[in-house]
Structure 1
């Protein structure tokens, strides 16, 4: 491994970035933020190729690529990183955004549905993140000039998710995974951090922001609103920057003071 003095400076722009789960919502905002920064982006999708193509078409600049993979399959997760590295000529930044979040309240869910929900959440949210991180880190280490891994966690890891317990549990595990990787990969100049967003507005949750339920959700924050995906994306862009190496290991709360932890 090269010494610190021999490692070229981590670039602020023109990087090769893989964003998982980038077909819409926060993933699309993340891909757009990196593209506006002058980076080349591998846009990953799991089940929405048409939406992912819309994301790809929306990106400024050139050299972006569209890649599909089922992250519940370890082989496909490994292939996704290999394909992204081949298309972009390497990977400098990995953003682990892909996740499933299907309701499974314990009091109203059959055991068969319960076990299926847990298996799916663990396979995608936790193991998919772990496998992508491992494979991307290997390529960053081989290249020898460091890198960034940013995980999209959740406020729910701290405050609980009564209707989505596997989501909350797997996001807590993602936070812990990121901290372990931050320590393990620091000697290779790879910084790893996570963000823990609260509620943010996307087309997937638009129905929940209508009427009394929407008022209650907005009322969780003293700002009286929910976040926009661009606000989360801007924080991820900073955590992926050369300036953010000393933030490695952090879990950054992005919830508009809707949940304060000690």
Structure 2
């Protein structure tokens, strides 16, 4: 059967060498088989009949579907996930000194006062009320239900399974070793969670055990975020830095960690 691969599929295969043998077996099966034979193969599982299928072999899971164009029917290989524990390199910010403020003074608020809300009031929500959800209700899920996961089911992983890492392995670093972030860390550079983007305004923050713990609301004017616990209490905010990451602060301006995107 003819097959097509997505750019994401290709990049994942290149970055996860351990998936190559299983991907090779899958491609061989597809090239030599009909649609019916592929679907009935013992390694194939039906996720949504007629819509989405998986092929799992030796710790590698391939997501695929079928389509039709002017040349006839084809198989679309959409994504590949390597199951198992995440690699130590991904979980350790020491892999990238540039993104770790403990190792890079240019993004450390103790040395770079532009990133320190105690010195730079523009990034301090206690002084800049546009950043403060107590005054800017558009940033507060208690007033703006579109950013409240309890009211907006499209951003609630309980209802939108594509956002649930326990049901969608492709976004779960415990299952997908190719996942490179974003990850959050405490001040000791210990990983304490990972982030899943729900939409343009809201991200979901999960513990390292893949439990939903917090939500982050994007502040478009600065690129920062306000973070709320599951009861919609404002518990921290993030200040962006120039190296594609964030510094984490409490509402009292105490520095508590960082995010590597």
TM-score bracket, normalised by the shorter chain, equals under 0.3
Is the helix fraction higher in 1 or 2? 1
Higher relative contact order (CA 8 A, sep 6+): 1
Q: TM-score, normalized by length of structure 2? A: 0.26
Q: Which has the larger radius of gyration?
A: 2
